[in-house]
Every structure is written in structure tokens, then in C-alpha cells.
Chains A and B, each alone.
Chain A
Amino acid sequence: MILEVVDGRGRVLHRHRLAALPVTVGRAYDCDVILDDPYVDPRHLTIGVDQDAWYAEDNGSANGTWRGGARLERIPIVSGIEIRAGRTTLRFLDPTHPVPAALADRRGGSPASRSFADPTTGLLIVAAAMTAYGLSMFLDSTTSLKPAGVASSIVAMLLIASLWAGAWALATRMAAGRLRFVSHLAWASVFIVAFIAANSAGQWVGFFFPGFRGLSSIQLLLMTGLLTCLLAGHLWLATEMSSRRRWRVAITTSLLALGVVSLFTLTEAATDASDSLSFARVLKPVSAGLVPTSSLDDFLSSTERLRAAVDELAAKAEREEAAAGAKTPEEAGVGQPVHGDVAPQAARR
């Protein structure tokens, strides 16, 4: 029989092959299995065999020996059973207990050596991304910009990215004992550039093809995809999750984010105010000959669609009003006598 000592977080602290019986378990140094748990008695329990049947026997400990929710004096042991002494779990497994086959190690090396980039390359990537960000800020600016202005916006972006990477580094430290801050920062930087590029690509497509109605959905999906990759990369650096689990967590999180975003967009669409114009506003410096165009007549004849749409909105509003005001005749009935009463009352005054 094998005894696994499991800590409060479910991790196996050590394993013992139980051979010379009986085996004493407790905090005292003369025990066969020593438990570092202040809630365990110095000689907490004894494990033995009685006519080929394994058992664990409590030695009258202060906190007792438990199986499930029951405190027991003597617990019969079979393979797979878990008992608790103090705050420590003891798991018993038969030596024939099956274990899964080895994972294929495609990357080679130990998880401890994982990194996205070595520090120099990582910092170069960060520098390149920040330059790209600064350039996009500059190209989007319409007032005179001083270098200090551009620098401060880059620093702000760098700060945000560092906070993000820092959070991941802390998680990595807890899970893998390493920070890998530069790797996280470089990975996040790649995605800053990717998001800027995706956004800009969406604008250009919107400029050339203003009639392309699926654009915003495609862009939203693209952003979700990017977010998934970003998260999966950070998870790879931070944890030793299997690749399947990693992608599952990343996809679930980005879908949740997508859900929240769409919820906001839907609420916005529902409060479709009658004085706001929403249209494809993008303008790009492209030579007139390169812009695909339609003729003025085609453009105007296609506005018939808009008439149908707003007529439908009006009809819908009328239906809703009719449904809400179904009880108005009754109200009017109550209102009518007041109408007649007004004159006599005033006359009395």
C-alpha cells in the first residue's frame, strides 16, 4: 500500500511505501510517517494489517481521525480511500493503482524555462510596440503635438501594459515560482500592436466598402479572437495547464468579455434616440480614382430601404402605444364627468 500525504490545496507533499507494519503516523520525530501539521497529535494514528485487511487506528488523538464527515476509532483501508488527521489528508493507494501514460513533450526542456522571449529580445519587442503606439497616436492627432506629449502618452500606455504584465507575473510567481515579467510584457505588447492593426484594418475596409454590413460583427469576432490568443499566451507562461485546458479558459474568458460588450451594444441599440445619427464616418486619404463608387442615382434609389425601415419603426411604435393604451377608453370615461363638473364648481365660487 502507498500512503500519500496531501496538503490543504490538494497537492501531494510526500509518498510512503508502507512495508514494515505497523506504521506510526504523527508529529513526533520517532513516527514512521511525520506530518507537519500543528493539529495532528505527536502519535496520531497507527496503520496495520489484521488478517490481510488494512486498517488505520486512532491513538486517542485530540482532533481525531476522520473519514468523510465521521470521526472513527478504526477505519478499514482499501485502495483509493482518503482519511483526515488534523488538517492533513492521507490517501491510500494500492501499488497496482493505474497511472496515465506520459505526456508527449513536444517542446523539450522543463516548464521552468518557458519564456516568450529572452530579456533583450523582449525589451526590443516592447520598445517596437510602444513606438508603433506613439506613431498611431501622432497620426490620429490634429493639434500641434510636442515630443513630450507623445512621450507622456507612450509612458501612460507602458504603465498600463506593465500593470497588466505585472499581474500576470505575480500569478506566474505563485504558480511556477518565476516572475517572467519581460515575457508577459513583450507578449502584451505584441497584442497592443495587433489591436491597433485590427482596428485600423477595420476602418479601411469600412472606408472602401461602406455598404458592408457585417463589418462590425466581424471586427468584434476578430477582437475576441485576439483576446483569446493574448490570454492563452499569458496562461502558457504563467501556469502548467494542459494546452486544452489553457485554450478552454482563454476562449471562455474572451466569450464572456464579448458577451458583456454585446450587452452594452444591445442596450445602446435599444435606446435608439431620435436625434442621433449613426453612420459610417470613416474618411481616408485615398486618391479618388482608387475608391470604388456607386452612381448618385443608385445611391438615392437604395434609400428606399431607409423609408421602409423608418415606416416600420413608426408602425411598431404605434402598435406598442396601442397595446399600452388599451385601457384609455376607460380612463377617458373617468375623465369625462370632471369635464362636465368644472363649470358648476367654478360658478359656485
Chain B
Amino acid sequence: MQAALGLALLVALSAPASAQEQESSATAEIFRRFADRVVKIEVVETGSGAKATVGSGFVATAAGHLITNYHVISQVVLRPERYRVQWYDAGGRVRPGRVVAVDVVRDLAVVTTDAPTDRFFTLAPVPLPQGTRLYSLGHPHDLGLTIVEGTYNGLLEYSLYPKIHFTGPINPGMSGGPALAPSGKVVGVNVSTAGEEVSFLVPIEPAIALLSRAVAVPPPAPKTLLADVGAQLLENQEAYLAPLFKTTDSAVRLGPFLVPTQPARFFRCWGDADRRAQQLYEAVQHQCSTDDYIFLSGEESSGIVTLEHRVVSSTKLNPLRFYALYQRQFQNATGGMAAGDEEMTAYRCQTRNVGRPGIVIRAIVCFRRYRKFAGLYDAVVKAAVLGARDTGLITSLTLSGVSFPNAERLAKSFLERIRWARR
């Protein structure tokens, strides 16, 4: 064992020059062969001519179709009257582009150009073993075309939408650029990072599907794209909300209450307790949240579902004082999601004391609508259990980007699952 380790170290130490040079020359070779198929994409504000967003993209057809992220060109989709797309070809010339198809859920977009070329990537699914070396290309911080080495680490386990876990430094500006296998095949599209070399790629399959759709139909009017985004969001929420509270019915006991948890497999849950000596009460918390969200615009995300329970109890406060505390915590409990006024209407709320067998709750439902997407709402359901003198449960369910019937159904499922474990 000792010998083996020593050997490994030795190998590592003396492997040096030749192997390293070989590796870097492989990277250099990839860059030499494919750099001219990767482009810089800019979104320009029409009035001022200033660039609002810089991202990357790559050529995917002989007709010059570019693939990039939806989040790179979202402004053009949301405000076609104010923004336009331009891109830089291999010679550094600025050329106009036009968004013809988007997949908002997978964060992909196709841009057409009037620049037919023979320098393009052919897209096909590639099976990869974990640990495969990948090369990601793009324009980090608009600093010029860059190649980054990294490792393929499989698909994310808890993600609602398939995403490749890429271990390598992807930075802002590289979004929309390709990630290549050593063979030079595109395996994914750079999309996001969690920092410290933890980065994510969109697998190539949805990009292939979107591209074939874009090539098959004539380019749509700008307004149609917006409607398309709305339809995709609606369709997507139907699909991912369907299993909530249906496939699993797990409950967790918090103090004297039984509350719903982990409404579906793609939720992640945490818990914590707040007990301090000088504090006159105790609080126990439990939260669940989806990991994924759908980027809509700089100020607006969709598709986030969170559950939050907080049990507050006190043996040191009299009922009136305890309820002053309970009420304050109810007020402070989070719920409103950040959003720009340009994207969302204000909330409208309704409060009632609701009685169910064995339990009385003060229930609140709030709605606001996506201004650009009819039929899509954010909903906040909050409740506080009434009737106990020294303990209470504050709970909330937050849904973003859902249809009204789904919001109603989930509010019902959620509120129905709040129970006393004992009285």
C-alpha cells in the first residue's frame, strides 16, 4: 500500500512536461479547429445604440443558425420594440441577427443570420462517461474568445430539467457558448455557474429539438415569440406541478403539528430550531424548495415553489403577549417574491378564518399576475393555526409562474395537510 502510494506520487511528480504539453496542445488543437464557429452575441438598446447584454453562441447549421441561451436574448423577446440582436462573425464584423425560436424552460434560443457558412457544428447526442474532459468556449466578461477545460460530472440529480454538472470555470459572458467533447462534438450549452468551478450546461438534445423546429417553420413575428414563451411556461407548469402532493404524501411533525413536506422528489428540504437562553420563545423551522427556476428576465424568475413552516411556542409569555409575538412573526414571515413592477402587477390578498375538522386556521391567499403573460400568476398561501394559548404554526406556500387552477388546487392540498398531531 505504502509502496503503491509512493509510486502514484512519483508518477504524478515525474509525469510532467510531455503529458502536460500534450494535454495543452489538445486544448490548443480544439481551439484552433472550432474557434471560428463560436460567436459573440450582443443585445443592443435601439434608442441609444448601447449594448445591454453580451453573451456567446455557436453556429449550428450551414444556413448560419446560431444557438445561444434564452437569457442572453430575453430582452429582445420581451421588448422587441426596444432591443435588437447583433453578433460578431469570425472576422470580427458586426452583423444583425434575429431570434426565431426560444425554449424558455431549457434556457435556449435560436438566432438566424444572413450568413451561410461551411464552418458549423453538427449536433448529435453523445454518450459520455463521468470524468470525460470537456472544453467550454465563450466570451467571459466580453474579454475575447476563451477556452476553458473542465470535466463532465453527469446530470444533476435533483434538477427538474436535465442539466449537466460541469466542473470548470464558466463565467458571465460565456452563456450560450458550446461545451465540446474531445472529439469536437457539442455536448452542451454553457448556462450557469454556482461559483468555484461548479458550472452547469444545458444538454444538447433540447437544442437539437429547438433547432429542428426553428428550421422547419418560417420565422415568426416578434410578438408571437412572446406568446410562445407564455405558452411554454403554462405547459411546463402543468407538467411539473402535476405530481405535487400526489406522488408523495410525506408529512413531518413539528412540535404539536403535522405539516406537509417534500411535495415531490425534486424538492429539497431543510430544518432548524431557534432556541436562545434570553429569548422568551422557541421556534422550529422547516423549509422545502425547488432547486430550479426559469429565467424570464433580469428581474423575474418563474417556476419556484417553496414551503415554509415555523412553529412558535412559549412557556414564559402569557396568552396576550404570546399572540403579540405570534402576530409579529406572522407579519414578518417571508412570502412576497422580489419582482420588478414592469413585470408583475401588485398582489391582491384575501384573509379568512377557515375551519376544518379539528383545526381552525387564519388563511391568506395572495395573487399577482405576470403582466406580459395572461394566465400566469404568482400565488402566496399563508396560514396561522388559531386556538392554542402558547403555541402556533405559521406556514406558507409560495408558487411562482402557475395557472390559477393549479394555484387553487395546490393551496387546497397544502392547507388540507396542516393538522394537529395532538391536542
Chain A residues within 8 Å of B, Cβ to Cβ? 138-144, 208, 210-211, 272-289, 291-297, 299-300, 302-303, 305-307, 309-311, 313-314, 317-318, 325, 328, 331-332, 335, 338-340, 342-343, 346-347
Contacts and interface: CB of A to CB of B under 8 A. Distances in A.
A296 B272 CA distance: 30
Contacts of B94: 342-343, 346
A310 B345 contact: yes
Q: Which of A138, A274, A286, A311 has the most CB of B within 10 A?
A: A274
A296 B93 contact: no
A274 B280 contact: no
A289 to B, nearest CB: 8
6 contacts: A274-B346, A291-B360, A296-B363, A305-B350, A335-B84, A342-B96
B346 A291 contact: no
Contacts of A307: 367, 377, 404
B369 interface: yes
Interface stretch (B10-18, B140-148, B324-332): B324-332
Interface string B349-384: 111111110011011111111110010010010101
A276 B280 contact: no
Nearest to A310: B369
B367 A210 contact: no
Contacts of A317: 345, 371
B321 A141 contact: yes
B367 A306 contact: yes
B415 A296 contact: yes
Contact of A294 (B46, B355, B408): B355
B328 A300 contact: no
Contacts of B384: 283
B357 to A, nearest CB: 10
B320 A285 contact: yes
Interface string B141-170: 000000000000000000000000000000
Contacts of A340: 96
A142 B325 contact: yes
Given A277-B335, A313-B346, 16 more contacts: A208-B353, A274-B343, A274-B347, A275-B344, A276-B347, A284-B323, A288-B359, A291-B387, A299-B354, A302-B352, A309-B348, A310-B348, A310-B369, A311-B374, A318-B371, A340-B96
A285 B323 contact: yes
A332 B353 contact: no
Interface of B: 46-47, 49, 81, 84, 86, 92-96, 278-281, 316-328, 330-331, 335-341, 343-356, 359-360, 362-371, 374, 377, 380, 382, 384, 386-387, 389, 392, 404, 408, 411-412, 415-416
B377 A310 contact: yes
Given A143-B280, A210-B351, A303-B350, A296 B412 contact: yes
A273 B346 CA distance: 6
B95 A274 contact: no
Given A292-B353, A296-B356, A332-B46, A279 B371 contact: no
A343 B84 CA distance: 14
A186 B326 CA distance: 35
A338 B355 contact: no
A325 B47 CA distance: 14
A343 B351 contact: no
Given A283-B386, A346-B94, A338 B348 contact: no
A339 B96 contact: yes
Contacts of B95: 343
Contacts of A339: 46, 84, 96
The 8 closest A-B pairs by CB, nearest first: A288-B387, A293-B355, A335-B46, A313-B345, A142-B325, A285-B319, A274-B344, A272-B346
A305 B408 CA distance: 13
Looking at B95, B340, B369, the one whose CB has the most chain A CB atoms below 10 A away is B369
Nearest to A272: B346
Given A274-B346, A294-B352, A286 B387 contact: yes
B340 A274 contact: yes
A261 B291 CA distance: 44
Contacts of B387: 286-289, 291
Contact of A291 (B92, B328, B353): B353
B339 A275 contact: yes
Contacts of B366: 277, 279, 306
Contacts of A306: 348-350, 365-367
Nearest to A331: B47
A277 B347 contact: yes
B324 A142 contact: yes
A279 B333 CA distance: 13
A346 B93 CA distance: 6
A294 B354 contact: yes
A75 B172 CA distance: 95
Given A296-B412, A307-B377, A317-B371, A142 B328 contact: yes
A279 B281 CA distance: 25
B322 A285 contact: yes
B376 to A, nearest CB: 10
A128 B366 CA distance: 43
Contacts of A276: 336, 346-347
Contacts of A299: 350, 352, 354, 363, 365
A281 B330 contact: yes
Contacts of A283: 323, 326-327, 330, 362, 384, 386, 392
Given A139-B321, A300-B412, A313-B369, A275 B355 contact: no
A172 B322 CA distance: 45
A274 B344 CA distance: 6
Given A342-B86, A342-B96, A296 B416 contact: yes
A306 to B, nearest CB: 5
Contacts of B346: 272-274, 276, 310, 313
A98 to B, nearest CB: 64
A143 B322 CA distance: 10
Contacts of B278: 144
A30 to B, nearest CB: 79
Contacts of B416: 296
B365 A281 contact: no
A279 B47 contact: no
A286 B280 contact: no
A176 to B, nearest CB: 43
A296 B354 contact: yes
Which of B316, B346, B371 has the most A CB atoms < 10 Å from its CB? B346
